[in-house]
Structure 1
Amino acid sequence: MIVGTDGGLRVSAPMVIANARSLLAAGRSCLRARAAASLTVLDLAEVGEVDSSAVSLILAWLRTAGERGLQLRIINPPASLLSLASLYGVAELLPLA
């Protein structure tokens, strides 16, 4: 679902409402385990499906990262995620690498 890597986190599960609660908890746990003031890459290359909850998840992870003093960068975002973020007017908040 979410795996911690040397450089950050890799999400491999669909980012949809059915998985949102467990993804939120797993992502927060991984972020809290990282050293403060480090760059953390969120790799979404393996995410095949997203819905509006994906935008909420990323914003929540950004808050958690900020609380820990982490810089979060997103790589390989699905086009559908970018489209949803644009639709909701929050695309400029996504820290794309």
Structure 2
Amino acid sequence: MIERNANALAVSGVMLNGNATALLEAGRGLLRASEKAADLRIDLSAVTETDASALAVVFAWLRTGKENGVALRIAGLPASMVSQAKLYGVFEALPLA
């Protein structure tokens, strides 16, 4: 699940292959509706389970934000995503809050 809270997109529950497309599209919709030059956090602190698709979704949101003039920072990155990002060599590319 994803929702907009003030200056954050708050994600909760699981981020797995089975719901990746729905999360991707929901997040893109929220980002496209955001004001240009907005600074938003992607708050992942309530995410309970991830797989590699979670990283793909986050990177797609980062691209959508950039395309729409919305600066994004990632907060509350779950340990599983940290491990996956380091394994795939993309950890340094994540704009952490």
TM-score bucket (shorter structure): over 0.9
Gaps of 5+ in 1: none
Q: TM-score, normalised by structure 1?
A: 0.97
Counterpart position of 1:48 = 48
> Residue type matched to 1:68 in 2?
N
Structure 2 regions of 5+ residues with no counterpart? Answer: none
Please name the residue that 1:9 is paired with: 9
Alignment of 1:18-37 (within 5 A): 18-37=18-37
Q: Which residue of 2 aligns with 1:88?
A: 88
Q: TM-score, normalised to structure 2's length?
A: 0.97
Residue pair 1:15, 1:54 contacting (<8 A) in 2 also: yes
Q: Which residue of structure 1 lines up, in the alignment, with residue 65 of structure 2?
A: 65
Moved over 6 A (4+): none
Query: Alignment RMSD, CA only?
Result: 0.6
Identity %: 49
- Map Cα deviations across residues 50-97 of structure 1 (whole Å, 9 max, x no partner): 000011001100000000111100111101101101101111111101
Distance 2:68 2:92 in 1: 21
How many equivalent residue pairs? 97
Considering fraction of residues, name the structure with more strand. Answer: 2
Contact 1:2/1:13, CA 8 A, preserved across alignment: no
Whole-angstrom CA distance in 2 between matches of 1:69 and 1:89: 26
